[in-house]
């Protein structure tokens, strides 16, 4: 019978269709799940493969050299081949630091066959305790140890005659300084292992030290040598470092400082000589000094004090030598048409005092019947009159004057190739009061290094060019030389301002406070300085720094000499203490270089 409607047949039809749909969905789900599982398995395999490849790359490529070295080390015993440390020479090639042949003796306890015999032989050769050495050979838990360092060649030749298995020697040179205390604070010294610790030895260590080599001999796991050919890896000796320093000029500077030290018993007497055309350091001398061949390594405080290069690392108030900078700024601003700058014909008031913000500035010649009254800039330099330079600083103003201080690189390092350079102390421009500016004008309320002042003075008289100072001229190797040439950092003043200033400073030596630096037949310019020291925020009674900055020839400066004497006893004026010492140094340069007097 046919159904009268689809209502009865509907449930049966839908039910059957649902079974079909569910089966179809289950099939699709199963296929998707299978694909996911296959993808996961593939991803896991790919990850493992990538991890293995990465590990392979790390082991074979990145760590291959190190691992090969470790493997080689298990089956070889290395005898070091020590690189010879490079020499340090002066500008003319005179040896200042070199190496003398010496040797280190090593022992490998596991390779020693007859320990009692070896202990007895080594004790006799090197003056050691036989019993202690034998105990060490029997109980040592290290693969090898150094027996002696710095043994001489004769001892090593005797050692060779014994032919002791497990005992060998390698070069272990001794650093030698032929001139002892010459340039001790500049050259510096090395550690017992030949690593530069101070001075040029430290700064240029990467050039001087070279690269050690080795002889790798086949050995078993306990260190005993076995048959086989050794592998030889030669050492690369260090390079030679050539200084800008001239030994003859250095000798003149050191001799003068030693005499000043003996005469005035100061804390120290220091001298720096620059070539104004390049800022090459031609000499750096300080007394007292010490012998580089006998470094006091047992006294850490003494060693730190003696090895410090005060000319680069210490700061002080320069006093009247700083007036060179103030005068240079004034002359340059006058040439530029600045109405606040004083002309060369301007007459400063003869008053011996100025009062600024309640601070009184006095001239060193304080009596009304003293040596000067109203004066020009030239006369103010000759007389070293503080109030005149106070007037200049205040007239130029803080912004303009600080622009020049920045150009002369006060408050920042010069960039010399030497470690530990100080940057000096300069008040922030925003914090400067009128009384501070007044005092900076004549060299107080500002602290500089000797090197900073010498470079500033050189720039002021060389045409206004400021270079980076150098202690090293070249790096020498078998393949040639790498020159370190002049490095111009900027301009300070114009050539015209520089020429005028040099002429004024020549007058200071001819007829002013620097007359004790005068040398007949030579155009010498310069400026004296006498600064009272500050201690604990107050002036220290009876403690002065005497100085003189000089140069010659004044019309074409080739040499600049700065002498600083810290706390001289008795006389203390820079004109009396420092100027004659600078004259002695300049006379030494004239003699060493054979400089003829001018004609005219």
What's the rounded Cα separation, in Å, for the pair 174 and 190?
Answer: 10
Q: Beta strand pairing status for 359-362 and 480-483?
A: unpaired
As separate numbers, helices (DSSP H) first and strands (DSSP E) second, the chain gives 19, 23
Q: Beta strand pairing status for 213-218 and 231-233?
A: antiparallel
What's the rounded Cα separation, in Å, for the pair 79 and 72?
Answer: 13
Q: Which helix (H) or strand (E) holds 310?
A: helix 310-313
The DSSP code sequence of 247-270 is: HHHHHHHHHHHHHHHHHH--SEEE
For the four alpha carbons of 321, 327, 329 and 332, in that order, the dihedral sign comes to: negative
Q: Is the distance from CB of 437 to CB of 359 less than 8 angstroms?
A: no
Q: Which helix (H) or strand (E) holds 544?
A: strand 538-552
320 is catalytic: yes
Closest CA to 558 of 593, 528, 521, 584: 593
Q: Is the distance from CB of 279 to CB of 470 less than 8 angstroms?
A: yes
CA–centroid distance for 318 within its chain: 23
Distance of CA 420 to CAs 164, 300, 316, 392, 414, Å? 48, 18, 16, 34, 12
Backbone φ, ψ for residue 454 (5° rounding): -65, -45
What's the rounded Cα separation, in Å, for the pair 435 and 383?
Answer: 22
What's the rounded Cα separation, in Å, for the pair 587 and 600?
Answer: 20
Closest CA to 371 of 357, 362, 359, 383: 383
Q: Which two tokens stand for residue 495?
A: 């050539």
Q: Which two tokens stand for residue 81?
A: 């081949």
The residue whose two tokens read 């694909």 is 35
Closest CA to 289 of 265, 264, 254: 254
Q: What is the DSSP letter of 234?
A: -
Q: Is the distance from CB of 281 to CB of 421 less than 8 angstroms?
A: no
Half-sphere exposure of residue 58: CA atoms within 13 angstroms, side-chain side = 6
Q: Is the distance from CB of 492 to CB of 467 less than 8 angstroms?
A: no
Helices in 58-190 by DSSP H: which ranges?
Answer: 64-75, 115-126, 130-139, 153-162, 184-187
What's the rounded Cα separation, in Å, for the pair 223 and 226?
Answer: 9
Backbone φ, ψ for residue 578 (5° rounding): -85, -40
From the candidates 84, 287, 289, 320, which is the catalytic residue? Answer: 320
Any idea which residues carry the catalytic annotation? 320
């Amino acid at each position: 019978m046919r159904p009268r409607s689809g209502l009865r047949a509907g449930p049966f039809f839908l039910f059957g269709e649902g079974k079909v749909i569910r089966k179809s969905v289950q099939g699709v789900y199963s296929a998707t799940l299978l694909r996911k599982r296959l993808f996961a398995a593939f991803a896991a395999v790919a990850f493992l493969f990538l991890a293995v490849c990465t590990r392979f790359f790390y082991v074979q490529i990145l760590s291959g050299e190190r691992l090969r070295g470790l493997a080689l080390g298990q089956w070889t015993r290395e005898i070091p081949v020590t690189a010879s440390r490079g020499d340090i020479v002066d500008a003319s090639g005179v040896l200042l630091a070199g190496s003398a042949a010496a040797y280190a003796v090593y022992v490998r306890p596991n390779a020693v066959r007859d320990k009692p015999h070896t202990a007895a032989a080594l004790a006799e050769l090197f003056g050691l305790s036989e019993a202690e050495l034998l105990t060490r050979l029997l109980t040592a838990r290290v693969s090898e140890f150094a027996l002696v360092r710095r043994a001489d060649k004769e001892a090593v030749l005797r050692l060779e005659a014994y032919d002791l298995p497990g005992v060998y020697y390698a070069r272990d040179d001794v650093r030698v300084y032929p001139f002892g205390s010459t340039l001790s604070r500049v050259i510096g010294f090395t550690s017992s292992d030949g690593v530069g610790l101070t001075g040029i030895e430290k700064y240029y260590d990467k050039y001087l030290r070279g690269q050690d080599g080795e002889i790798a001999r086949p050995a078993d796991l306990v260190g005993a040598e076995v048959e086989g050919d050794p592998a030889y890896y030669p050492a690369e000796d260090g390079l030679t470092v050539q200084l800008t320093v001239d030994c003859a000029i250095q000798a003149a500077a050191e001799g003068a400082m030693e005499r000043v030290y003996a005469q005035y018993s100061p804390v120290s007497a220091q001298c720096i000589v620059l070539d104004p055309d390049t800022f090459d350091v031609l000499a750096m001398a300080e007394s007292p000094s010490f012998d580089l061949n006998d470094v006091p390594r047992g006294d850490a405080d003494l060693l730190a004090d003696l090895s410090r290069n005060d000319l680069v690392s210490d700061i002080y108030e320069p006093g009247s030598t700083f007036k060179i900078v103030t005068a240079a700024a004034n002359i340059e601003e006058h040439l530029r048409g600045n109405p606040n700058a004083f002309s060369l014909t301007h007459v400063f008031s003869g008053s011996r005092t100025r009062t600024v913000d309640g601070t009184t500035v006095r001239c060193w010649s304080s009596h009304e019947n003293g040596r000067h009254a109203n004066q020009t800039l030239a006369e103010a330099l000759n007389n070293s009159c503080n109030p005149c330079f106070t007037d200049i600083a205040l007239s130029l103003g803080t912004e303009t004057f600080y622009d020049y201080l920045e150009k002369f690189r006060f408050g920042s390092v010069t960039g010399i190739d030497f470690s530990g350079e100080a940057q000096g102390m300069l008040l922030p421009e925003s914090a400067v009061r009128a009384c501070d500016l007044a005092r900076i004008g004549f060299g107080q309320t500002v602290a500089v290094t000797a090197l900073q002042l010498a470079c500033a003075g050189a720039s002021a008289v060389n045409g206004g060019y400021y270079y980076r100072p150098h202690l090293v001229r070249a790096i020498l190797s078998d393949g040639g030389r790498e020159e370190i040439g002049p490095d111009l950092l900027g301009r300070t003043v114009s050539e015209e301002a520089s020429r005028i200033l040099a002429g004024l400073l020549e007058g200071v030596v001819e007829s002013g406070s620097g007359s004790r630096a005068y040398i007949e037949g030579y155009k010498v310019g310069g400026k004296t300085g006498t600064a009272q020291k500050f201690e604990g925020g107050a002036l220290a009674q009876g403690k002065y720094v005497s100085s003189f900055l000089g140069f010659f020839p004044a019309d074409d400066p080739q040499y600049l000499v700065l002498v600083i004497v810290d706390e001289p006893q008795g006389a203390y004026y820079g004109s009396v203490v420092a100027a004659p010492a600078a004259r002695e140094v300049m006379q030494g340069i004239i003699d060493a270089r054979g400089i003829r007097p001018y004609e005219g």
